[in-house]
Structure formats: structure tokens, C-alpha cells
A and B are shown apart, each in its own frame.
Chain A
Amino acid sequence: MIDSIRLYARYLGISLRAQMQYRASFLTAVATRLVQSAIEFLAVLALFDRFGTLRGWRIEEVALLYGIINVSFAVAEGFGRGFDTFDRMIKSGEFDRVLLRPRHTALQVAGVELQLLRLGRLLQGLIVLAWASVVLDIAWTPPRVGLLLVSVAGGTCLFIGLFVLQATLAFWTTETLEIANTVTYGGVETAQYPLAIYRPWFRSIFIYLVPLGAVSYFPAMAILGKADPLGSSALFQWLAPLIGVAFLLAALRVWGVGVRHYRSTGS
């Protein structure tokens, strides 16, 4: 285990040094992403400026959801990049080499790259989150802070789990399907707003199938101390982020099945 962690740290170190070779290009790319996501948030601000509230939610409350989900996604994109581009590994036959090495396949794929480019989104998410936590009239007791951190961690696990599942599909399809992006990027867009505003069938997707609600909406309810129109209990709200971790573990199981089904493309 220790050995695996050390190996993973080595992988990440190599990836970081490689990316830092093009420093100016790296900095402009990060700055561009920062501006991009800032403009996206501007759109949310504009809507609140126009309509005042969103079904009883104020902008700083929605900003909390926005911050949790965007920070989780940015971190997951950074660490899960190897899964995101996994179809290249299948197509080039590089995965054959991964199989030969005496380490867990998922660890090696995750170690392909630590993508620093996502720093732009991460920064913007953190800024929104920091702003929300200052403006919100909340006593930041240790349990609340803890729940916020666990939510972000659970969200990160959930998104990495989604990347793993998306990559697993490539064992059968060879090409990553664009449709998978609807649940990742579309999920981020959905979970930026309170789940209660969506139609029941649509909301169910993000509660039961891709449990994004468990790492943003439900814990946010507990942090904000709001009464949930969906009727979740306080106990559930506090424990919900763990579902994200369970999702990742389940995804890794499915990955294992995929690995056993792997047929090399033979190039």
C-alpha cells in the first residue's frame, strides 16, 4: 500500500515537471480557464439580479452548491485525467504494457497525468465557496466545516468514479462515448442549482443513478439548516457524502470486470 502511494506520488511528480516545461503556455491556459468559469458564474449572478431568488434560495446559498460541485469536479478532473483520455491508451495498445506491470491497473492509469490546467476552475470554485461562506449567516462550527470538507471529498470521489466508469466503457467500445459527458459536465451544471427545482424524473437521475445530490444538495441542506422540500432527514444529510466514496469503490469493481474483458487492439 505504502509502496503504491509512493509510486503514485512519483507518477504525479513526473507529470508536474513535464507540464512545467511550458510555463508561459501553462499560465495563459490557467488564466483563460479562470476567466471562462468566472463568466459562467456571471451568468448565475445575472439571473439572481433579475429574479431575486430561486424558489426561496438566495444567491449566496446557491453559491455554496456551486462552490462544492465545481471544486469537486476540478479536483476530480485533475486526478482523473488518465481515465478521461483512457480510450487513447486502448487504441494505441499502451494498456498491454500497463497489464504487464505488477501494480494495480487503476493506479497506473490515474498516474498518467495530474492535470494542472484545471487549476483555473479550481481557483474560481474556491473563490465562490470562500465568498459564500463569508456572506452566509452561518456559524462555522467544526462539524459544519467538517461536513463541507467531506462533501467536497465525496464529490471528488463521485466524479472520479464517473470517469472510471466512462473509461471502463472503452474496454467494450474502444472509443469513449460523448454521451458520458452529459452526466459529468451536465451533472455539474445541474447540481449548481438546488435539486428541488427540477422535475421529479430528472431529479431522480441525480439522486439515485448518479448520486450528485448526495455530495452537494443534501449536505448543503444540513450546512445551511434549511428545511428540505424533498423531505430528507438530518441524519441522511450528514451521512450522504459517503455515498460518493461508495460510488468510487463500486466503479473500481466494475473497472475490474472491464479489465478481465480486455482484448488488445493489436496495434
Chain B
Amino acid sequence: MTPYLAILSARFRMLLQYRAAALAGLGTQLFWGLIRVMVYEAFYRSSSAPQPMSLEDTVTYLWLTQAMLHLIPFRLDAEISAMVRDGTLVYELARPMDLYWAWYARAIAMRTAPTLLRALPMFALALPFLGMRLPPSPWSFLAFLVAIGGAVLLTSAVTTLANISLLWTLSGQGVSNMLQVAVMFLAGMYVPLPLLPDWAQVVLNVLPFRGIMDVPFRLWSGDIPPVEAPHLVVQQLAWTAAFVALGRWVLGRGTRRLVVQGG
């Protein structure tokens, strides 16, 4: 366990150094958040029909997506990509540890550090000034925290699987772009999932990706009551296990047929 925790903490501390980038990103995220909130307010005011989620909960949901945008498996791990291309991957294979868990630890750091750097200042602005609301009860907040933990484990497993695909694609640009858009949509980044058509809900409920954003965010706002948290978290963990198993299998195949480039 220790080497993996060491990788995780080293990468995490390294990624926490990019504070200027986070600050620059914050301005952009704020601007986008403002546009989106105004668009949704206008939509809500255009219809008198009862909606599956209240405007207040939707606004909170939107600010959470802006703040925690980096939970989405954006970009592949640039260092792994470089290792595959220049052949230093052999060193990685020679180390006395499980490659999958080493990469998984890197993925956790890659998802959590930027999220933390952006989320805290965004909350500090959106909660008092921009219509974002606090969880209705301590239980909702607790449920959110647990579900965010589940979301991190899940999205890191997806990230690791995508990183492993570098063994075949080398550049990974295409995989990364497609994955990003698909996960963004299915996690609730483009449109809060409850607002998608009712027939789509059945599909979204069985897919793993709502566990990355939709589930924790609705637990925060109380749109999903905290009593439902346990089975949703179990669902997150089950999907995580599935992605881990798939990732390990694919990585096993990849390393067996690995041809190291370069001399």
C-alpha cells in the first residue's frame, strides 16, 4: 500500500503548485457559470409546467459543475503519454510494484488536486453572491462528502483506463476528446441530468457516469434525500470495481504485446 500512497501524495502536492493556472481558470469558470445560470433562469421563467428539479437546486447544481469541473476525465496523463512514446515505460515496468495501482494513484491525484484548487475559491464566491445554496441539512452534506469520495474513485478508474489506451494510440488526442465530451454529457456537465427527457433517465440511471457529478451534486442540494446515498454509493463502487477490472485486464494485454520504441 505504501508506495502507492507515496505516489498519490507526491503527485497531489506537485499538482497543488499550479495555483496561478487555477486562478486564471477560475475567471473563465465564473464567466461560464454566469452565462449558464442566466440561461437556465430564462428557461425556468418561460414555462409554468412543474419541473423535475427546482430552479434553486439547478443553480446550485450548475455552480457545483463549474467548481468541480476537473472531476471529468479531461486530458490524459501527459507523463504517461511521454513514457509510452519515448520508451521510458520500461523503467515503470521494472519497478517492484503493480503498474495498474501506481497509475491509479496518479489518476486520483490528477483528479483531486485541480478540483480542490478551483472548488474552494468558487464556493467562496458562489455561495454568498451567486445564488448557490448550502446543503439543507448536515446529513445532506455528509452524503455529498461520501459520494464525492465515490466519484473520485470512479472517475480515476475511468481516467486510468483512458491512460492505458495510450499503449495503443500513442497520442491519445482522439480518445481523450471523445471521452471528455461523452463523460461530460452523461455526468451532467452540459445539462443537469434530471432536466434531460424522461425517457433518457432510464438509460442514465444504469450508466456509470452520473456517479461522477450528478449523484453527489444532487445529494448536496437535497434533490436526492440523504437516505438514498448508501445504495448510490454502492453503485459508484460497483462501477469503480468494474472499470478497475477492465483496466487491469487491458493493461495486462497491453504490456504483454508491448514493443518499446526508440533505441
Contact = CB atoms under 8 A, between A and B. Distances in A.
Contacts of A249: none
Interface residue range, chain A: 20 to 34
Interface stretch (B11-19, B99-107, B158-166, B190-198): B190-198
A198 to B, nearest CB: 5
Interface string A4-35: 00000000000000000000000011001001
Interface in B25-63: 25, 27-28, 31-32, 34-35, 38-39, 42-47, 49, 51
24 contacts: A29-B174, A39-B181, A39-B185, A40-B190, A42-B190, A43-B185, A43-B190, A43-B191, A46-B191, A50-B43, A52-B49, A53-B46, A54-B46, A177-B24, A178-B24, A179-B28, A182-B28, A182-B32, A186-B32, A186-B35, A197-B38, A197-B39, A202-B34, A202-B35
Contacts of A181: 28
B177 interface: yes
Contacts of B28: 178-179, 181-182, 186
Contact of B35 (A51, A55, A189): A189
Contacts of B206: none
Contacts of A260: none
Contacts of A178: 24-25, 27-28
B45 A55 contact: yes
A42 B195 contact: no
Interface in A175-202: 177-179, 181-182, 186, 189-190, 193, 197-199, 202
Interface in A129-171: none
A51 B52 CA distance: 11
A197 B42 contact: yes
Contacts of B124: none
B178 interface: yes
Interface string A35-77: 1100110110011011111111000000000000000000000
Contacts of B32: 182, 186, 189
Contact of A193 (B24, B39, B44): B39
Contacts, number: 85
A42 B230 CA distance: 32
Contacts of B51: 50-51
Nearest to B39: A193
Interface of A: 28-29, 32, 35-36, 39-40, 42-43, 46-47, 49-56, 177-179, 181-182, 186, 189-190, 193, 197-199, 202
Nearest to A37: B181
B98 to A, nearest CB: 33
Given A47-B191, A49-B197, A189-B35, A32 B177 contact: yes
A55 B46 contact: yes
Interface in B42-87: 42-47, 49, 51
Contacts of A49: 197
Given A182-B27, A182-B32, 8 more contacts: A43-B190, A46-B195, A46-B196, A178-B24, A178-B28, A181-B28, A182-B28, A182-B31
A54 B24 CA distance: 32
A73 to B, nearest CB: 15
B186 to A, nearest CB: 10
Contact of A36 (B34, B49, B181): B181
Nearest to A181: B28
Contact of B47 (A28, A43, A53): A53
B39 A179 contact: no
Nearest to B189: A43
A84 to B, nearest CB: 16
B47 A32 contact: no
